[in-house]
Amino acid sequence: MPDKSLREATIAYVAPFLAYILMFAVPLRPELLHPIRFVIVLAVILIFSRKYLSLKPSHSLGSIGVGIAVFLVWIAPDLLIPGYRHFWLFENALLGKVSSSLSPDLRHDYFFLTIRVLSSVALVPILEELFWRGWLMRWLINNRDFLKVPLGAYQAAAFWIVALLFASEHGVYWEVGLAAGIVYNWWIVRTKNLADCILAHAITNGILAAYVLISGQWQYWL
């Protein structure tokens, strides 16, 4: 039976991600679901994760550069190769098709768009980095007590399993998701600081959100 501190830490690292994912199963319209999910996940982070969460990057400029690089990798295939995303490796019965869940009305709903951007930039980087690189990467190395594994510890199996699972989370964008997972994994190994990965992830998501709003490429918001 894990001790209280280990249970507390596990909840801190895992609960925000689980809350975010489980909310997808709630049968609410997107204009209601997104604000409610934002509030719930933010509350979970503040209540359970704050003690374990540092937002002080040690390599700020490098993290910003990593975030920009991942954004460029994310959109480059579609810009450079017409019809690339419609290839069978991406559009298929398992992964679905390239499309956005946002209705035309929501694309002009400024309150909804504000919540969507805030979620992408402020919440998702925190909950995903807590889960993938703060918890799972360490748990795969020592599943009895992940706290004994320093942040950024490298083990090949843990590194690649997390990268592959991170890729699977991104559906038709799995291959750029894999590239992003590899880069973010490398960055935590390099910096040993989860805050640097959170910053890099936030930069990627922030620029992608701006790109979606400016260019109208809504398919990037699944």
Decide if 151 contacts 134 (C-beta within 8 A): yes
Residues 181-194: tens digit of each pLDDT: 999 999 999 999 99
Q: Residue 222 — pLDDT band, cuts 50, 70, 90?
A: confident
Its domain, for residue 194, covers 55-220
Place of tokens 């709903």: 109
DSSP code of 177?
H
Residues 143-168: tens digit of each pLDDT: 999 999 999 999 999 999 999 999 99
Residues 13-55: tens digit of each pLDDT: 999 999 999 998 999 998 999 999 999 999 999 999 999 999 9
Residue 11 lies inside a defined structural domain of this protein: no
Residue 60 lies inside a defined structural domain of this protein: yes
Residue 185 lies inside a defined structural domain of this protein: yes
**pTM of this structure:** 0.95
Residue 83 lies inside a defined structural domain of this protein: yes
Residue 91 lies inside a defined structural domain of this protein: yes
Residue 69 lies inside a defined structural domain of this protein: yes
120: Cα separation from own chain's centroid: 8
Sign (positive or negative) of CA dihedral 10, 195, 184, 99: positive
Residue 45 lies inside a defined structural domain of this protein: no
Count of structural domains within the chain: 1
Nearest of 41, 6, 4 to residue 149 by alpha carbon: 6
Residue 151 lies inside a defined structural domain of this protein: yes
Residues 84-107: tens digit of each pLDDT: 999 999 999 999 989 888 889 999
Decide if 194 contacts 133 (C-beta within 8 A): yes
